[in-house]
Amino acid sequence: MKKKLIFISMMAVVSMHLHAQTIHKMAVDVNKQMAGISPTMWGIFFEDINLAADGGIYAELVKNRSFEFNMPMMGWKEAKPNGGSILILNRAIENPANPRFARITVKNDKSFAMANEGFRGMGIKKGNSYNFSVWAKSVNGNNAVIRVELVTPKGDKIGEGTVGINGKGWKQYKLSFVATETELKAKMNFIIENNGLYDVDMISLFPADTWQGRANGLRKDLVQWLADMKPGFIRFPGGCIVEGRDLNNRYQWKKTVGNVEDRQLIINRWNTEFASRSTPDYFQSFGLGFYEYFLLAEDIGAEPLPILNCGMACQFNTAEAVPTEGLQPYIQDALDLIEFANGGTGTKWGKLRADMGHPKPFNLKMLGAGNENWGEQYIERLRIFTKAIKEKYPNMQLVNSSGTDPEGDRFNYLNNELRKNKADIIDEHYYKPPTWFLQNAKRYDGYDRNGSKVFAGEYAGHTKLTNVAEKKNNWDAALAEAAFMTGLERNADVIKMASYAPLFAHIDGWQWAPDLIWFDNLVSYGTPSYYVQKMFSNNKGTKVVSITMNDSTVTGQDSLYASACIDKSSNELIVKVVNTLGKEQMLDIGFTGSNKLPTTMRQTLLRAASLTEVNSFEVAANISPIETELAINNNRIEVTAAPYSFMVFRIKL
C-alpha cells in the first residue's frame, strides 16, 4: 500500500462549499468518557476454506505429499513412457496416522519420473531458494539419486537439485536450489535414478523465504496482511471446519500437533460442501496445526482464540451429536488444550509444546465451545462442557455460539438461554446485505450492559450487485461494514471482539465469497473490507468518548455514522466518520473537554467514486487508505466528507 502524505489547507478547500451546502455539526466531548475498549476488540477469523491453509498460508507447494488423499495419486502424474513403476502401499496397523507410502521400482538402467501439480500450480519466484525434502529408504540396499526439477507449464526447467539416497532404513533427505525464473503455475518433477526398489513418503517442497524463515512455515506475504492489521485476537480453526460434516470429520487438535509426518490427514469439509464449487482435491494435511496457530498468534501480537467441537457435527449436514454421557473425550480435549497452551513443561501436553520448540506458555485466556451450534442439544452439552472447564480453570473465558443468524427463533432461544446461564461471551454471526449493516448500526445500543459480552465472530456485507466472486468485495459492502463498526465501537462495553469472515480466498480454488484477502500462487491483495478492518484495528483506542449530531448519537442521520475514542497510550483522540451518501457532505466537528488542540491532525481516508468499485489483482490498491494532514482551528475542524467515504481523524491531545 502506497501512503501519500499531503498537506492541505482545509479552510481554502472547504470555504467555497460552505455557503451552498448543509453543514452537519458534530460535537465530541473528550470529558464524556464511556465504555472501555477491549484490547481484543478487532481481530481475525481464520478458517481453512477457499484453500486458506493448504494451498494458501501454509507454504507447502506439493499437493498430496504423503499419498493420503482418497485417491492416492491425486495431484501426481507418472511420466509416460516411464523407466519404472509405482505402487501405493498401506501400513495402517503399524502407522495409522500416516498409512500410505509409495514403493518405486526402477529397472533396466532407466529412471522413474512423476510430476506434482501443486495447488493449482506452484508459485515460484526467480532468485528465491526452495527446500525439498523426502522420507525414503532403499528396500534392497541399492544407492539411488533423487532428482527434483521445477518446470513451467511449457516444460522449461526453472530450478533443479539432486540428493543421493542409501540405506535400508527410513531417513529424511533434503536438498535446496535457487529458481531461475518466476512462474505462477510451475510443476515439480520427481525423478529416481538407478535400478532398485525405493520407498518414499512426505515428498515436500517449501520456499526458504517463509514467514520468520521457519521450516514447515507460512507464506510470508499472506501473514504480513494479518500482522499489518495489528489484530487483537485470532480465532482458529474456524468456522464449520470445527464441527465437520459428521463427527468423524470434526477438527481434533491433538491430531494436528507433533511431527508433521505423524499428523493424520482428513478430507476438508469444503471439498464437497457446495456442489457448484466442488473442490475434490481439498484436504487438511494439518501441516498448519494448533502449534503453528499459537505461534502465528504470538508473532502478530494477537490473543489466541481456539474454537473446539463440543460434541456436535454441523447441523446443516449430518447433525450428529455425541450422547451426553459420551462427552468426556471432548471435554478432555479442551482441558488438554489448555495444558498444551499454558501448562508447565513438566506436564504431558506442556512438554509436547516445549518439545516442539516453545517452552514458554502461550498464555491462552479464552476458548470457544462449538461453532454455529443450536437448539436444546447445544445448551445441554455446553452446560456439561462449561462446568468441567470452569471447575479446573475458573478464569478461562468461554465463547458460546448463538447459532447461524442474528435474529429469529433460533437466535432468541439461544441468546436467552446463554444469558440465563451467564455465558462469558456470545458469538453472533451475520452474513447480510449492506442495508442490514446500515440499519443495524444501533443493534447493540439496547443490549444489557451488565450481562454476557458479545463476540461479533463472523460477519460480512453480502451484496447482490454482482455474481462475480471477486467483485462481491465491493465498496458497497465495505462502506456498510464501516458504518456498522462505528456502532460496535460505540458499544464497546458490550462488544469484546469482532472479526470479518472468511479471511482468505485463492482465486482458483475458492468456495465462498466475499472474503477479506484474495491471493493466487504469487501475489495477494486486500479488499476494501480489509482496509476498513485495518483502519478500525489500527485506530482502536482505549475508551469511547461521546460524539453527537444534534445531541444524538450519529447512527445514519443524513447518511452519516460516527464514533470517537481516545487512545490513552498515545494520548490521542480518534474520530471515525462514514458518509454513505453519494455526495459530498460538509462536517463541522467541535471538540470540548480538552486543552487547546494542535493546529493539525492526521486524516486517513478510504473512498471510492461508486459503490461497485473493487480492488483486484490488476489494481490492488484501487480503494486503499490515503493519509493527509488537515487543519484544526480553535478546537474545530471543518471537513468535506467525500461521497461514499470513511474517514479516521487522529488528534494529539
Residue ranges that bind ligand AHR, judged by CB under 6 A: 47, 49, 238-240, 371-372, 404, 458, 501-502, 512
Side by side, the strands of the sheet bearing 196-207 are 84-90, 100-106, 196-207, 129-138, 171-178
- In this structure, the chain runs to a length of 653
Number of residue whose CB is nearest ligand AHR: 239
Q: Tell which residue, 330, 328, 404, has the closest CA to residue 369.
A: 330
Residues 162, 168: Cα–Cα separation, whole Å: 19
Between 236 and 512, CB nearer to ligand AHR: 512
| Residue 647: other Cβ atoms inside 10 A | 24
Q: How far is the CB of 511 from ligand AHR (least distance, A)?
A: 9
| Cβ-based nearer residue to ligand AHR, 58 or 459 | 459
Q: What is the CA radius of gyration of the chain?
A: 27
Report residue 552 as a C-alpha cell. Answer: 444524538
Q: Are 139 and 103 in contact (CB under 8 A)?
A: yes
Among 372, 428, 470, 638, which one carries the catalytic annotation? 372
399: left (phi over 0), alpha (psi -120 to 50) or beta: beta
Q: What is the dihedral of CA 536, 539, 543, 546, to 10 degrees?
A: -70
Other beta carbons within 10 angstroms of residue 380's beta carbon come to 14
> Rounded to the nearest whole angstrom, what is the least distance from the CB of residue 243 to ligand AHR in the complex?
8
State the DSSP code for 243: T
Nearer to ligand AHR, 56 or 239 (CB): 239
The SS3 assignment for 325 reads helix
Minimum gap (Å) between residue 374 Cβ and ligand AHR: 12
Contact, 644 vs 584, CB < 8 A? no
- Which position has the grid cell 460524539? 547
What letter represents residue 418's amino acid?
L
Helix axes 328-342, 376-392, angle to 10 degrees: 40
Under 8 Å between Cβ of 17 and 641: no
Residue 562: how many CB atoms within 10 A of its CB? Answer: 27
User: How open is the CA angle 506-41-614, to the nearest 5 degrees?
Assistant: 35
Cα three-residue angle 205-208-211, rounded to 5 degrees = 110
Distance CA 373, CA 26 (A): 42
Give the HSE-up count for residue 376: Cα atoms under 13 Å, Cβ half-sphere: 0
**Which residue's entry shows cell 464511556?**
34
H runs (alpha helix) in 164-233: 220-229
By C-alpha distance, which of 611, 478, 627 is closest to 538?
627
For the question of residue 372 being annotated catalytic, the response is yes
All 3 cell numbers of residue 85? 513403476
C-alpha cell of residue 118:
501443486
Catalytic residue set = 372
